[in-house]
A and B are shown apart, each in its own frame.
Chain A
Amino acid sequence: MSTTIFVPCDSAALALGAEKVAKAILAEAEKRKLDIQIIRNGSRGLFWLEPLVEIATDKGRIAYGPVQASDVTSLFDANFLAGGSHPLFLGLTEELSYLKNQQRLTFARVGITDPTSLDDYLAHDGYRGLKNALATTGVDIVKQVTDSGLRGRGGAAFPTGIKWNTVLNTPAEQKYILCNADEGDSGTYSDRMVMEDDPFVLIEGMTIAGIAVGATQGYIYLRCEYPHSHKALNKAITKAYEAGYLGGNILGSGKKFDLEVRLGAGAYICGEETSLMESLEGKRGLVRFKPPLPAICGLFGKPTVVNNVISLASVPIILDKGGEYYKNFGMGRSRGTLPIQLAGNLKQPGLIELAFGVTLRELLYDYGGGSASGRPIKAVQVGGPLGAYLPESQFDTQLDYEAFAAIWAVLGHGGIVAFDDTVDMAEMARYSMEFCKIESCGKCTPCRIGSTRGMEVIEDIMKGHDLNKNIPLLRDLCNTLLNGSLCALGGMTPYPVLSALNHFPADFGITNQADAA
């Protein structure tokens, strides 16, 4: 009987040597004349264990990791095909506490299936949402998405159902579904994992969106630094077309939806939805003012749903199990689950999908295992480069949009980056301004000039120059950026800057409280 071995093809695993591991396993099996079959699955998202090799057994999938090619001989020697013991033996994958306690809805198949196998997708509840969607009306689909409480996972947390409803109710000859796959936030990778490890779920989500609002064309605006996603998506799209899940007559329903991947321009600002549309239209990635909302006048001036990868990938399960099911996860006005991405100075970085409500401390210590350096965690930045820095005193905050807003922080796209006590928060603030300067599209004055001035002012502060003038100047500048900027790049740069200044004044050379004003 042939044994099935899973070696991930996710780029995180590949970066850690998964390709060599797969080759070594094949070669070793041949040498030993063992009948095996390797499936290149996605990643489970336990990065410190990658490459994580799994063996299919009667009891379930047994995990070994992190496996290097040099470990392969000893694994065979230890009879790992039958779950034999070995220093890298981890036990049943599903029983790993990191995974076991997660609530994987959007990521239900990630790491389990062969990403670009449509059969595998179907065998794991794929395309059930679409079938339900085809059996009902656009209004009803939109209602279910609204009922689910799903809010945009791209950062702004706008209710997805309300956005769809606007597009549904705006008559037009042509409408578009636009997937924002520009994932530019530092420390984030959940979009990438979905696209590499379960591309069909995104395709299905977009198809449902198209059917719901009456859009017949979809585009995935993909960050150009994601070649593996590009390949996986294109392969999956081709298969979906071949099997009638995309095209002019979806599953014989007479409904049409075409889908295409477009590569991004390589600028952070092109992740901002209006700039993204400009870029897709072949222009410079300059931010547009709103209104008009993209939902009314979007891509090529047509009503357009712009959603993040995770938002769209969460739709199939909502349509499969119903809005109520999804809504039952979470707390307050933050419903469902959030794929959290742990990164930075942590022992166990990785992807954790959980219902809203978990605290930062649980994530950092129970999942992340504390800092990798073993030193105390001084601060975490949540929500990407425009997110606030949180000090240890705020680690008990629950992951909830409103709870974060209350402490002047954001959840953003769910990225959490941890820093130990060697970090200089003034330098981090300076870097935030520099990031804004580098990525500024240059359209609006506060950000175009203010980011450069901000960097200069913080540099002066770091040199200890005239704090009495420069600290208030920095605060005034942040006020101008916050209220005056056209988009959130300039508008949110004050989050990391001011949170660093407010929580860690000493790093800015402020010794007495009066200077901090």
Chain B
Amino acid sequence: MSMTPEKDFGTPAISATQMVNLEIDGFQVIAPAGTSVMRAASSIGIDIPKLCATDSIEPFGSCRLCVVEIKGGRGMPASCTTPIAEGMVVTTQNKKLADVRRGVMELYISDHPLDCLTCAANGDCELQDMAGAVGLREVRYNPAGENHLNSVKDESNPYFTFDPSKCIVCSRCVRACEETQGTFALTIDGRGFDSKVSPSQNQPFMDSECVSCGACVQACPTATLMEKSVIDHGTPEHAVVTTCAYCGVGCSFRAEMKGSQVIRMVPNKDGKANHGHSCVKGRFAFGYATHKDRITKPMIRKSIKDHWQEVTWEEAINYAASELKRIQEKHGKDSIGGITSSRCTNEETYLVQKLIRAGFGNNNVDTCARVCHSPTGYGLKQTFGESSGTQNFDSVMKADVIMVIGANPTDGHPVFGSQMKKRLRQGAKLIVVDPREIDLVRTPHVAANYHLKLRPSSNVALINAIAHVVVTESLVDEEFVKSRCDVESFNKWRNFIADKRHAPEATESITGVPAADIRAAAKLYASAKNGAIYYGLGVTEHSQGSTMVIGIANLAMATGNLGREGVGVNPLRGQNNVQGSCDMGSFPHEYPGYRHVSDKATRQLFEQNWGVSLQPEPGLRIPNMFDAASDGSFLGLYVEGEDIAQSDPDIQHVHHALRSMECVIVQDLFLNETAKFAHVFLPGSSFLEKNGTFTNAERRISPVRKVMPALASYEDWEITQMLSNAMGYPMNYNHPSEIMAEIARLTPSFSGVSYEKIDQLGSIQWPCTDDTPEGTPTMHEHEFMRDNGKGLFMLTEFVASQEKVTQKFPLILTTGRILSQYNVGAQTRRTENNAWHAEDLLEIHPHDAEDRGLKDQDWVGIKSRAGETVLRAKISERVQPGVVYTTFHFPESGANVITTDNSDWATNCPEYKVTAVQVSKVSHPSEWQQDYQAFSERQLELLAKE
């Protein structure tokens, strides 16, 4: 708990196996070949002065503070750019070197304001440190000389300022934007003395391409790029390492604190998922945690027409428990259930499902992962034997061909998106399969080799066509198939897929993708040394979502792209803990670790440990709960940290179901959409207020640490525990580590996980067992996780979606997300991130817009067979004709009013990505929007006021 800064070795680590011996200041050093003299010195504690070097980016050699002398060499080379050599003898300190360093510092300070004492970086400034280190005592230059002291500040970005008067033109920001983030928003404009940092073409940051990832701010050694929070509050005094609560990348952060106030979130260099990088959400958008909309007192009410009443925790919990018990007594055990959250910790999720299975006595537990990645769980479990992605993120750095299907990493998983771009800039090839032109298709120094711009809902036809090419053009990795897969299933699949009906030419009319492109892309992927597939919701959120996941798995197996670094099948999971919530037994049919409730041995294990008898049949899935609620047989629901009234499809149906229930308990930070239908509101805690763990998309279990007290007094797991006790099922954990210990005891793939080990290693990728005590970065290395160890091929017949365009609904609507907003937006909408995205827009191709007489910014009505809503239009060639696109971050957009109840055949994952719609110009919001607005306003009025 101190502010010890992270050590900066000056230049990145080198992973060479060959070691080099040298002497620095009389000390012997051994370091990998290719290491810089600076880093080698730093590794033995000799810190050579530096300003332009920092170990997150490549050396640049511009400040010249780091000069050294090398025996037998000429002049004074910069130690950051000079690689070590065998037998080298280096001197880092002597009079001559000191003179040059002091000379350089004197120049710097001759063009720098002398207001250190009132500068926001005072005490956290490398320029200051270096002035001290080189012993600068006076600046002799005429103060009337030319300078930049009157340069104008740019405060356009909501989170950081740019004060060029303090800039030392070290280019660290420019290089961070290029190398770390890959956005290339910054350049140095002008030459010589006039050189200055310029966002885009000398624009303010907010008007430039900047995506506010913060990498430049992080890299800046001075106060030039500085968090506004630090300017406002001063420098932090202690730091706690925790994990971002936004997306499935699961970036590690240092929460830098002043007492219990978060001053800034700084990406952790040791974070294995992010290596010191971040995106605008995790880095800056944490203000929601203390937003005035937070509800901090428990509330109850009899009916949703009533005013809320603030009550004590005891009253609220007792009321909730008594209502649930009353409903069960009257309508049977199965008349209640609960929903876990992918936003909460593993421990909290585990506890909610335990409460439901053991305390409610049924299996009516489900999770929002249902609406995103349930097909992943199903498809990968069937084929590979484990419901998760096969790689770690770093694996992408060894991929030669990257196929991105239905995912938009630069917006959805920005930090991984940056890592992928870095690999692409190193020369890896890229195939994008997406109906829309995502940023990756063309971004600075990256261009997709193939963009297969398929029609929404034709995924399976496309993956079949690719597989057809692999099989018919002898691109199968026969050796891999023979040794690693179930050969019988392969042969069956080979016959199936070789049939002409799957040929790219035959399916061109379905996919809309030229056959030649598919053939070329298939060859590129199949003949890559390492081919890696990354996919997202564009794969899963379809009526054939599971089929598509299986199709991807088949393709990877057939081409031998599994079981080592650089390859694999990688679902890009949306929410921070969607992997964890699935792992923790959130589905009605599975215990933690994906073991079916009907499996007797597992059930008995849990029965013994939990001391109750458990139901052997799966419980209700979310859509079934809603149906049952509408039928009057399901009347009580405990929802933890989830906003089903906004995020689930066919919202009018959902709203009807919620209105039909007698006791809806919502545990959340805000009065979210679902809470507007609730009877009990239990104020939850944000990730800053609790201990626990999150599991990211690469199965990495990372620590979440409490940095401030829970605003409403309890961490979420404590609330669940109270409810359980009130329901009559006793729980008495003192700390989430005890919950994790129970998970480890009952779940083989977690058997080696403990808080001590997480603290020690920083994070752990499951499976973590006796065989793999430090976790498993790459899955299926020697055999697949299936019972017989063999990968299973399954047939993937293409079945057209029921959602077809008709004369009435001639366009296909597909949905996605953008960088600055997160999911239903409950958090990000309560931050300055709205500066980037203040409303959801409907992207429409110019042709379709012209047909309908639409202009940019026009209000348009979007009608499907499920409902109608109104958004503003954004005319864009990113979408193809016939397809419209929107995000779903704002409740009033009602994007899910129009999505239908179609869903994946295997998992009921809703078909968000395909809805047939008609679009037309309108002048006022839809009827639904008007009703909704009235309801919403009324609900806010009903909030308790003393």
Contact = CB atoms under 8 A, between A and B. Distances in A.
Per DSSP, chain B at the interface is: loop
A444 B61 contact: yes
Contact of A480 (B61, B103, B111, B195): B103
B142 interface: yes
Contacts of A460: 142
B482 interface: no
Contact of A453 (B61, B141, B188, B194): B141
B83 interface: yes
A314 B757 CA distance: 69
A486 interface: yes
Given A284-B188, A289-B61, A477 B142 contact: no
Interface in B58-102: 59-65, 67, 75-76, 78, 81-83, 96, 99-100
Contacts of B168: 445
Interface stretch (A48-56, A144-152, A404-412, A432-440): A432-440
B81 A448 contact: no
B99 A442 contact: no
Contact of A469 (B63, B140, B169, B193): B140
B104 A453 contact: no
A411 B415 CA distance: 53
B107 A437 contact: no
A28 to B, nearest CB: 51
Contacts of A447: 192
B493 interface: no
B145 interface: yes
Given A448-B169, A449-B110, A483-B67, A437 B192 contact: yes
Given A444-B62, A449-B107, A453-B110, A479 B99 contact: yes
A485 interface: yes
B146 interface: yes
Contacts of A483: 67, 75-76, 96, 100
A291 B76 contact: no
Among A437, A440, A452: residue with most chain B CB under 10 A: A452
B191 interface: yes
Contacts of A269: 191
Interface string A255-283: 00000000000010100000000000000
Contact of B140 (A291, A448, A473): A473
Contacts of A452: 145-146, 192-193
Contact of B107 (A290, A439, A446, A479): A446
B450 interface: no
Size band of the B side of the interface? 35 or more
A483 B191 CA distance: 21
Given A437-B192, A449-B193, A484-B104, A442 B169 contact: yes
Contacts of A130: none
B75 A445 contact: no
A443 interface: yes
A476 interface: yes
A450 interface: yes
Nearest to B108: A445
Contacts of B75: 483
A443 B107 contact: no
Contacts of B110: 449, 453
Interface in B134-148: 140-142, 145-146
B45 interface: no
A304 interface: no
A438 B99 contact: no
B190 interface: yes
Contact of A476 (B99, B111, B194): B99
A456 B64 contact: no
A453 B107 contact: yes
A227 to B, nearest CB: 24
A480 B191 contact: no
A484 B100 contact: yes
Contacts of B82: 291
A453 B145 contact: yes
Contacts of B104: 445-446, 480, 484
A445 B107 contact: yes
Interface in A407-438: 437-438
A165 B796 CA distance: 59
Contacts of B192: 437-442, 447-448, 451-452
Contacts of A479: 99-100, 103
Among B75, B188, B195: residue with most chain A CB under 10 A: B195
A457 interface: yes
A476 B108 CA distance: 15
Contacts of B142: 456-457, 460
Contacts of A267: 191
Contacts of B195: 442, 448
A479 B67 CA distance: 13
Contacts of A437: 192-193
B39 to A, nearest CB: 15
Contacts of B59: 289
Contacts of B83: 291
A449 B62 CA distance: 12
B138 to A, nearest CB: 10
B64 A445 contact: yes
Nearest to A292: B83
B62 A486 contact: yes
Given A479-B99, A483-B76, A445 B62 contact: yes
B103 to A, nearest CB: 3
Nearest to B187: A284
Interface in B97-144: 99-100, 103-104, 106-108, 110-111, 140-142
A274 B187 CA distance: 19
Nearest to B109: A449
Nearest to A452: B193
B364 to A, nearest CB: 60
A291 B70 CA distance: 14
A449 B107 CA distance: 6
B60 to A, nearest CB: 7
A159 to B, nearest CB: 15
B301 to A, nearest CB: 65
Contacts of B99: 476, 479-480
Interface string B456-487: 00000000000000000000000000000000
B64 A444 contact: yes
Nearest to B81: A289
A497 B145 CA distance: 19
Given A442-B193, A445-B62, A480-B106, 11 more contacts: A267-B191, A289-B60, A290-B81, A437-B193, A443-B62, A449-B111, A450-B107, A460-B142, A480-B107, A484-B76, A486-B64
Q: Which 10 A-B pairs have the closest CB atoms?
A: A480-B103, A440-B192, A289-B61, A442-B195, A289-B81, A449-B107, A484-B64, A452-B193, A442-B192, A456-B145
20 contacts: A284-B188, A289-B81, A291-B82, A442-B191, A442-B192, A442-B193, A442-B194, A445-B64, A446-B107, A448-B193, A453-B145, A479-B103, A480-B103, A480-B106, A483-B76, A483-B100, A484-B67, A484-B76, A486-B61, A486-B62
Interface of B: 59-65, 67, 75-76, 78, 81-83, 96, 99-100, 103-104, 106-108, 110-111, 140-142, 145-146, 168-169, 171, 187-188, 190-195
